[in-house]
Amino acid sequence: MTDWKIKFIEKIHRAANIYSFRFERPEDLKYKAGQFSYFYIPKEGGGELFHHFSFSSSPTESFVEFTTRIRESEYKQTLDKLPIGSIIRMSMVLGQFSLNPKFDRVAFACGGIGITAARSNIKWTIDTNAEIDIVLLFANRHSHHIAFKDELESFSGDKFKVFHIISQPEEDWKGSKGRINVDFITNNVPDCMERKWFVSGPPEMVDTIDKILTEEICVPLEVIREEFFIGY
């Protein structure tokens, strides 16, 4: 098992109660976009607390970053108060939620904090000039909960498009309303049968989208990859 000691260098507010935690990257750390690792932080009174997080950083970036909601758990509350300069422990690199340079067309369907692994992959394609056509369907409860919104929209171009949908929209929200469903998918991804799908978010949402893709649209199961975000 491979461990690294990493230094906490920056905390970045992304949206609502969502923050990115950025660390110095060890020279010998190699990972693929969309993978995850275990992060151990010092516990008050001694010992450690740990949680796994997908990387929101891309392997092309000079730092390591994960992004999460700050909740009431002991881990999240301790993380929220972690002093800049702290040294924490990172262990193992795992996961298969990664794009392949050989892919032609891909669609991401993400809910809430499930965007982190997608952001890692999307940033990797931008930085490496990968010839992958990407559509992102991004669902959130409120518009002010959209993490990485400005950055994702700045990526928009011939090879990347993002479509937002809000389930509890504010009065001034002009975009799509509701949840990801058949119409939202087929209207924004007309070639949905020809793409590889990456679905990430809360387990219930991931299961629902999987059923829509496989049972209602008849996307083959073998072209769908999933990432379940539990306790984020």
Those residues with Cβ within 8 angstroms of residue 128's Cβ, 6 or more apart along the chain or in another chain: 60, 101
CA–CA distance, 115 with 36 (Å, rounded to integer): 13
**Which pTM does this prediction carry?**
0.96
- Cα angle at 15 between 9 and 21, to 5 degrees? 20
Q: State pLDDT tens for residues 152-165.
A: 999 999 999 999 99
At the top level of CATH, the class of 3-94 is: mainly beta
Average pLDDT over the chain, rounded to an integer: 96
Give the per-residue pLDDT at 231.
Answer: 58
Fold: same for 3-94 and 105-228: no
Confidence of residue 228 (pLDDT cuts 50, 70, 90): confident
Number of C-alpha atoms within 13 angstroms, CB side, residue 56?
22
Confidence of residue 229 (pLDDT cuts 50, 70, 90): confident
* Surface-to-core class of residue 16, CB atoms within 10 Å of its CB (0-12 exposed, 13-18 middle, 19+ buried): middle
Flag whether pLDDT at 232 surpasses 70. Answer: no
Nearest C-alpha neighbor of 155 from the set 58, 84, 18 = 58
Any idea what DSSP says for residue 23? E
Those residues with Cβ within 8 angstroms of residue 195's Cβ, 6 or more apart along the chain or in another chain: 105, 106, 107, 135, 189, 223
CA–CA distance, 97 with 101 (Å, rounded to integer): 13
Domain positions in the chain are: 3-94, 105-228
Give the per-residue pLDDT at 129.
Answer: 96
Least confident of 69-78, 131-140, 150-159, 221-230: 221-230
Flag whether pLDDT at 96 surpasses 80. Answer: yes
At the top level of CATH, the class of 105-228 is: alpha beta
Q: State pLDDT tens for residues 1-20.
A: 699 999 999 999 999 999 99
